[in-house]
């Protein structure tokens, strides 16, 4: 059994990781670390509710010092965590560090993995709990689970679904983790790895009017985090110049109307599939950037 368990991260992922640990009847002493000012306040309030000591440590050197001072036999659960652990910590015999990643590694290492999975139209999406090594998201797999993405999933809704999937997996995994009987497997070498930085945006943030319905829909949904400004507002290059995209509507039409070419109607572009319609709203020329919530009219899942 570990002497101490550290949950490091932010937001709902870290919150739910903490709560999964606390549901285990006999768990080690738990402490929490928040390595950044979060977009959503969820982790620190959860720590206060459960009486768990939580420290916000945003300085990298201070974080390394914190982990260096931990006692023997410490389990670290990294959940939506921005700290890149240096080799001095990943190679330490005192620490077992396990990270949650919202993709099926080795696909989509790095940041914003759900967006890239949608944009690249992956047939399966999923999560990986893996050992942390000096290489980013390169450690051996502890657990993977996968689901089929639906036609109307956005980056936000997929991210939420993957959190649920990941916490369910962790709940099943915790008895084995806490008993220190951790079994791992190498990442699949038959799958070509990919890596994305936080600064990267699918197709540099531009919709291509020559795309098929499927690719245009995938692009817009990949950038759609609702009100969270994770990506700049999408744009499109047209004959009259560059236009911002102010929103989109994705609906089931129930009619067979495939069209390989986008249709233009005033300040809208329309892409059609067999029974789906995607309408892209264009901001007025010269309009200032303003986010408008996309509309997805949901019918039966495909």
Residues contacting 14, CB < 8 A, separation 6+? 7, 8, 32, 34, 42, 43, 79, 80, 81
List, for residues 229-248, the tens digit of each pLDDT value.
899 999 999 988 999 999 99
State the chain's mean pLDDT as an integer.
Answer: 92
First to last CA, the chain: 45
Phi, psi of 259 (to 5 degrees): -150, 120
Judge if 230 and 83 occupy the same domain.
Answer: no
Q: List the one residue out of 239, 227, 240 whose CA is nearest residue 290.
A: 227
Tell me: do 253 and 125 sit in the same domain: no
- Band of residue 302 on the pLDDT scale cut at 50, 70, 90: very low
Helix (H) or strand (E) holding 87: helix 87-90
* Structural domain boundaries, residue 265: 202-297
pLDDT exceeds cutoff 70 at 257: no
State whether 145 and 66 are in the same domain: yes
Asked if the model's pLDDT at residue 26 lies above 80, the reply is: yes
- Is 184 within a domain? no
Q: In this structure, are 154 and 257 located in the same domain?
A: no
Same domain assignment for residues 84 and 220: no
pTM (global) more than 0.85: yes
Residue 284 domain flag: yes
pLDDT greater at residue 287 or residue 205: 205
Claim to verify: residue 125 and residue 225 sit in the same structural domain: no
Residue 138 sits in the same domain as residue 213 = no
**Are 174 and 226 part of one and the same domain?**
no
Position 252 scores a pLDDT of: 87
State the virtual CA torsion across 44, 163, 71, 29 in degrees, nearest 10.
Answer: 60
pLDDT of residue 301: 31
Could you say which of 126, 144, 178 is where a domain stops?
Answer: 178
Q: What are the pLDDT digits (tens) for 84-97?
A: 999 999 999 999 99
Q: Is the dihedral of CA 128, 45, 223, 168 positive or negative?
A: positive
Phi and psi torsions of 44, nearest 5°: -60, -45
Rounded-to-integer distance, Cα 55 and Cα 36, Å: 10
The 8-class DSSP code of residue 202 comes to G
Report whether pLDDT(296) > 60: no
CA distance linking residue 62 with residue 55, whole number of Å: 11
Within a domain: residue 190?
no
Residue 289 has pLDDT above 50, yes or no: no
Check which CATH number belongs to the domain holding 114 and give it: 3.40.50.170
Do 216 and 267 reside in the same domain of the chain? yes
Quick check: 40 pLDDT over 50? yes
Q: Are residues 153 and 270 in the same domain?
A: no
| Distance between CA atoms of residues 299 and 302, nearest Å | 9
* Phi, psi dihedral angles at 89 (to 5 degrees): -95, -40
Residue 294 has a pLDDT of 54
Query: Does residue 189 form part of some domain?
Result: no
Residue 120 in domain: yes
Asked whether 243 and 282 are in contact (CB, 8 A), the reply is: yes
pLDDT tens digits, 159-196: 999 999 999 999 999 999 999 888 999 999 999 999 99
Whether residues 246 and 285 share a domain: the answer is: yes
pLDDT of residue 260: 65
Residue 208 located in a structural domain = yes
Of 162, 178, 194, which residue sits at a domain end? Answer: 178
Please give the Cα distance from 127 to 116 (Å, whole number): 14
Is the pLDDT at 288 greater than 70? The verdict is: no
Based on the domain organization, do 207 and 161 belong to the same domain?
no
Q: What's the whole-number mean pLDDT along residues 291-296?
A: 50
The count of domains in the chain is 2
- Cα of 177 vs its chain's centroid, Å: 23
d(CA 300, CA 33): 42
Query: Could you tell me if residue 174 is inside a domain?
Result: yes
Q: What is the pLDDT of residues 96-109, one digit of tens each?
A: 999 999 999 999 99
- Residue 187 in domain: no
Phi-psi label, residue 226: left if phi above 0, alpha if psi -120 to 50, beta otherwise? left
């Amino acid at each position: 059994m570990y002497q101490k368990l550290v949950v490091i991260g932010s937001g709902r992922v870290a919150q739910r990781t903490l709560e999964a640990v606390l549901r285990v009847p006999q768990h080690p002493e738990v402490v929490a670390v928040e390595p950044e000012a979060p977009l959503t306040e969820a982790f620190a309030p959860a720590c206060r509710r459960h009486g768990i000591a939580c420290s916000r440590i945003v300085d990298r050197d201070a974080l390394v010092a914190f982990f260096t001072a931990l006692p023997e036999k410490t389990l670290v659960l990294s959940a939506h965590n921005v700290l890149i652990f240096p080799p001095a910590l990943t190679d330490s015999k005192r620490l077992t560090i396990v990270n949650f990643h919202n993709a099926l590694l080795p696909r989509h290492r790095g940041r914003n993995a759900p967006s890239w999975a949608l944009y690249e139209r992956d047939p399966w999406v999923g999560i990986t709990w893996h050992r942390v090594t000096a290489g980013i998201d390169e450690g051996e797999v502890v657990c993977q689970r996968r689901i089929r993405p639906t036609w109307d999933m956005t980056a936000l809704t997929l991210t939420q679904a993957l959190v649920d999937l990941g916490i369910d997996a962790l709940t099943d995994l915790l008895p084995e983790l806490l008993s220190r009987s951790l079994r791992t497997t190498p990442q699949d070498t038959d799958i070509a790895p990919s890596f994305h930085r936080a600064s990267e945006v699918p197709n540099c943030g531009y919709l291509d009017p020559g795309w098929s319905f499927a690719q245009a829909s995938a692009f817009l949904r990949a950038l759609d985090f609702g009100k969270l400004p994770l990506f700049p507002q999408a744009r499109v290059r047209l004959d009259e110049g560059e236009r911002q995209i102010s929103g989109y509507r994705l609906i089931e039409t129930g009619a067979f109307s495939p069209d390989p070419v986008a249709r233009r109607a005033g300040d809208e572009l329309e892409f059609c599939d067999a029974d789906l319609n995607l309408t892209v709203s264009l901001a007025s020329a010269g309009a200032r950037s303003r986010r408008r919530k996309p509309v997805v009219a949901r019918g039966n899942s495909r």
